[in-house]
Amino acid sequence: MMIAYASRTGTRRNLDALRTAGWRLLVSARGVLRTEGFCYALDNGAWTSFQRGEPFHVAAFERAVARLGADADWIVVPDIVMGGLASLQFSRGWLDRLRHRRTLSGATFLIAVQNGIKPGHVRGLLGPQVGIFVGGDTRWKLATMAQWARVAHAHGAICHVGRVNSVRRIHLCAGADIDSFDGSGVSRFASALPPLDLARRQGDVEGWLARRILR
């Protein structure tokens, strides 16, 4: 079954629902640095900076890594939203810095891929501790996520898809053999959780069947 992450929320009702369903939290470096007792992953905060029209917030990311990085399921390496190959170059520099930190010796990092980036650009970076975070615009994400999952798995890495907030997208992720996804809808509305969590559980079976048929 795919692992599901919800954007971090402080709403008790929503947290209780997420905990009961077995979801985890995605904590943003630009948000409140609390895990609420959940297993969690750490986002670099680039998306929030992009939405606000701001440059990447280095200080916020460094603060988040210092506080939460060591125990995170994985850390999204800093990127430039919709930045293509310039984003990948930016991420490479950060990956080198992060991997040499003693406090992050056992950490897993995810490289954000997006429009303009191809598998050949990242193959040399991937391994058990470096996976893929599929970003980009919606059309590109849905069209390419299956190939990103194949590339990641061929190198013993995981593949995560960002901004998944519908039953349809969860089913597409399952069919693509994605390892995990995140969404914000369930963090805002507890009523959104049941159909999405059901899709996550159903999608595991449907994805397996789809892959069997394609063999």
Instruction: Express each pLDDT in 13-40 by its tens digit.
Output: 999 999 999 999 999 999 999 999 999 9
Residue 205 has pLDDT above 80, yes or no: no
Angle at 130 between CA 122 and CA 162, to 5 degrees: 80
pLDDT (0 to 100) of residue 1:
87
CA distance 103 to 57: 21
CA gyration radius, the chain = 16
- Quote the domain boundaries for residue 23: 3-214
DSSP symbols for 15-61: HHHHHHHT-EEEEETTS----TTS-EEEE-SHHHHHHTT----HHHH
Confirm if 38 and 8 have CB atoms less than 8 A apart. Answer: no
Residue 207 has pLDDT above 70, yes or no: no
pLDDT (0 to 100) of residue 202:
84
The dihedrals phi and psi of 59, each to the nearest 5 degrees, come to -60, -40
Look up the CATH number of the domain holding residue 21.
Answer: 3.20.20.60
Q: Taking residues 158-184, what's their average pLDDT?
A: 96
CA distance 183 to 119: 25
What domain count does the chain have?
1
